[in-house]
Chains A and B, each alone.
Chain A
Amino acid sequence: MTKKRDYKAMLSELGPFIGLIFVFVLFAALTPSAFTSFYNIKTILTQSVIIGIAAYGTTFIIVSEGIDLSVGSQIALTTVIVAAVLNLPASDPGLFYPLLALAAGVLACTGVGAFNGFIITKFRIVPFIVTLGSMQIVRGVAKWIGKEQTVPTPDNWLTNLMLIDPSPSWLIFGPGVWLTLVLLIVSAVLLKYTVLGRYTFAIGSNEQTARLCGIKVDRMKIVIYALGGLLTGVAGVMQYSYLTVGDPTTAVGLELDIIAAVVIGGGSLSGGEGSVVGSIVGALIMAVLRNGSNMLGLPNYVQEIIIGSIIVGAVLIDQQKHRLRAAG
C-alpha cells in the first residue's frame, strides 16, 4: 500500500520532467535536425532565462499561498531604470554604471515586492487585489520614468548577458543562462533547506497553524514578496539585456506566463506546494513548445491550444496529488 503510494507520488513529482522530455523528444522526432542542433538548444535556454528567473521568485510567493500580478510591470520598470542609470554619464558607461544600473533595477523591484507584502499583511487585503493594483502603479511609474517612450542606451556590457553565442566563446552559454543555473541552485536550497523555506511552506500550508507555531507570519510574508521582487529585478535586467533598450510597455501579461511555469512545475495556487526546479522545468517546457512549434511551422492557434492544454493538465496532476494525499 505505502509502496504504491510512494511510487505514485514520485511519478507526480517527476511529472514536469517527464513532460519536458516528452515534448523535446516529440519535436526532435518531428522537426528537421535544426531543432536538436546545439545552437538551437542554446537558443531555447536563452529564451527561458527571463521567465525562469522570475519564476524562482514567484515560486516562493505561490508556495506561501500568495500571488504577484505585478511581475510583468516590475520587469518593465527594471528595464527603464537600468536604461535611465546608463544614460547618467555623458560618455561611455564603463564598468561602474552598468553595475549601478543593475543594482538600482534589482533594488527597485525588491522595494516593490516589500511594498506589496506590507500592504497585504498590514491591511489584510488579498494579494490578488493588492498586486493587481501595484501592476498598474508600477507600469505607470515605468512609463513616467521612461517619459512614455522606449529609452535608448549607450553600448555597455550588460547587453552581452543574453547573447546566444557569448563573446568569450569558452563560456559556451550566454552569461544569462549561467546566472539562471546559479540562481536555480541558490533558490532551490533556500526553499528546501533553510528556515525561510520551511516557514514559506508552513505559511502556505496553513497560515493559522503557522501563526500558532510562533512564526512571525506578517514579517515572513514581506520577506517572501521582497525576495520575489529581487529575483524579478534580476529577470528585468535580463529583459533589458535582451531588448538593449528600456521599454515601459514590455512584458505585459508576462506574469501569467511565469505563474503558468510555476503551476506546470507542480506549484499549487492553494499554497504549500511547489518547487524551484519544477518551475524552471515548467519554463523550459513552454520555451521548447514555442521554439518547436516555430520550427515545425505549426499555426499559432495550435501552439495556444497545446500550451493551454498543458496548463490544465498540470493542474489536473496537482489535484490528483491532493487526492492521493487525502486518501493516504
Chain B
Amino acid sequence: MLPAEPGVRIIAEHVSLRANAVISYRSFSVSHTLRRLVLLALIPIVWGCGSSSSEGSGEDGAASSLEIAVVPKGTTHEFWKAIHAGAEKAAAEFGVEVIWQGPQKEDDRQLQIQVVQNLISRGVDAIVLAPLDSRSMARPVEAAVARGIPVVVIDSGLESDAQSSFIASNNYEGGRIGGQYLAESIGGKGKVVLLRYQEGSASTTNRERGFLDALNEYAPDAELLIDNMYAGATMAKALQVSQNILNRFPEIDAIFTPNESATQGMLRALETSGRAGDVMLVGFDVNQILLDAMRDGTLHGLVVQDPVGMGYEGVKAAVAIVEGETIPERMDTRTILVTPFNIDDPEIQELLHPDFDRWLDN
C-alpha cells in the first residue's frame, strides 16, 4: 500500500496543490496602471513573482495575435517541457501567443477539465490538448468545439469526434521497436517483465501492445513473468511497485517500461536491490537521469519520441485550422530507439537535448 495518502499534511499546502494550473504566458491585456497595481499587491506576498510578471508582460502590440492554449497532461516531466519548447518554436514562427497551462500531476483529471473550461471561458482561439484520460476529457473538448474553439489533440487519443486533428507518436510502433531490440538482445529467450503504466492512458496501452507483439514475434520462447502490474502516475508509486516485482521474481532477464516515470521508478528499484546492470532494462521516454544510467550501463535502451516536434506540429495545426485550412485527421510524429551504441550520433543528440534556452524563458 501507498503510505503517501496525504492525511496529516497541512491544509494550506494541500489546497494549494489543487490550485495549480501551471501557467506561463506572455501578454496581459491590462493597462499599465492596473498591471502596476497587481505587482504592488503581490510584491509583499512574494518578491520573486513581481519580476517574472513584468518580464512576461511583453509588448502591447502583440495583443491582436492569435492565442493558442497548450494543455499538457502534467508539468513535472521533462517531456512536457520539450512539448512546450516546440510549441513556443511554432509560436515564434507563426507569430501567435502560446498559453501554457496544465495540471501538475498526471492523474488529476478534474484539474485538467477545469483548465480546459477556464480556457473556454477566456475565449482562446484554439486549444492544443494532451488528454490525460481518453474518456473524461471528451466532454470539455466537445464544449470547446461547441463554442467555436477548435481543439487539436496531441500525444494521447480522445474518444470523441469533436477534435480537428490527432497528432502523436506512433506509440504502437515505438513499443514494437523496443520489443524487438529487447527480444534480440536477450537472444530470443529468457524471463521478461512488462511493467504497465496506467489504465485509461491510450498512448502507453498501445506501446505495451506493440511491445508484446514484437516480443511474441522475435522471442517466442521468452517467458513473460508478469504483465498485469501498473506503475501508476508518479515515480514514487512506480518505485514501490517495481520493488515488489523485483522481490517477487529473483530471476529476471529483461524488463520493459512504457513511460518516463515507470522507467525511472524501475531503474531506482534495480539500484536499491543491487541488480542494476544485471537485468536488461528498456524504457520509453527520456530524461537526464535515464541518459546518465545508459552511460553507466544500468539502462540498455530507450524508445524516445520527438516531443519538440509534437508541440510544434500541434500549434502549427491549430493555427492552420483557425486560418481556415484543412488538415489531416491523424498525423504521426517520430519514435526512435536510443541505445549505448548510437547515443552519441549527432541526430540522436539533437533529439535528446533540444535547445530549451532558445525557446523557453528562465
Contact = CB atoms under 8 A, between A and B. Distances in A.
Interface of A: 29-32, 34-35, 37, 39-40, 43, 46-47, 69, 132, 135-136, 139-140, 148-150, 152, 159, 163-165, 239, 242-245, 247, 249-254, 256-257, 259-260, 263, 286, 289-291, 293-309, 311-312
A253 B6 contact: yes
A39 B18 CA distance: 23
Interface stretch (B132-140, B150-158, B333-341): B132-140
A291 B113 CA distance: 12
- Majority secondary structure of chain A interface residues (helix, strand, loop or mixed): helix
Interface stretch (B27-35, B80-88, B292-300): B27-35
A299 B45 contact: no
Interface in B125-171: 133, 135-136, 138-139, 143, 146-147
A257 B143 contact: no
B21 A149 contact: no
25 contacts: A32-B29, A34-B121, A35-B121, A37-B123, A40-B122, A136-B1, A150-B133, A159-B139, A163-B139, A163-B143, A242-B110, A243-B113, A243-B136, A245-B136, A254-B18, A263-B11, A286-B19, A289-B19, A290-B19, A293-B19, A293-B23, A297-B56, A298-B49, A308-B13, A311-B11
A300 B104 contact: yes
B38 A304 contact: no
B209 interface: no
Nearest to A291: B118
B8 interface: yes
A256 B11 contact: yes
Given A290-B114, A294-B101, A244 B30 contact: no
A249 B121 contact: no
A152 B101 CA distance: 26
A149 to B, nearest CB: 4
Contacts of A294: 21, 23, 101, 115, 118-119, 122
Contact of A252 (B5, B45, B135): B5
B11 A297 contact: no
A34 B231 CA distance: 40
Nearest to A44: B121
Chain B CB within 10 Å, residue with most, of A260, A297, A303, A307: A297
B197 to A, nearest CB: 12
Contacts of A249: 107, 233
A311 B16 CA distance: 11
A32 B28 CA distance: 8
Contacts of A289: 19
B13 to A, nearest CB: 8
A34 B123 contact: yes
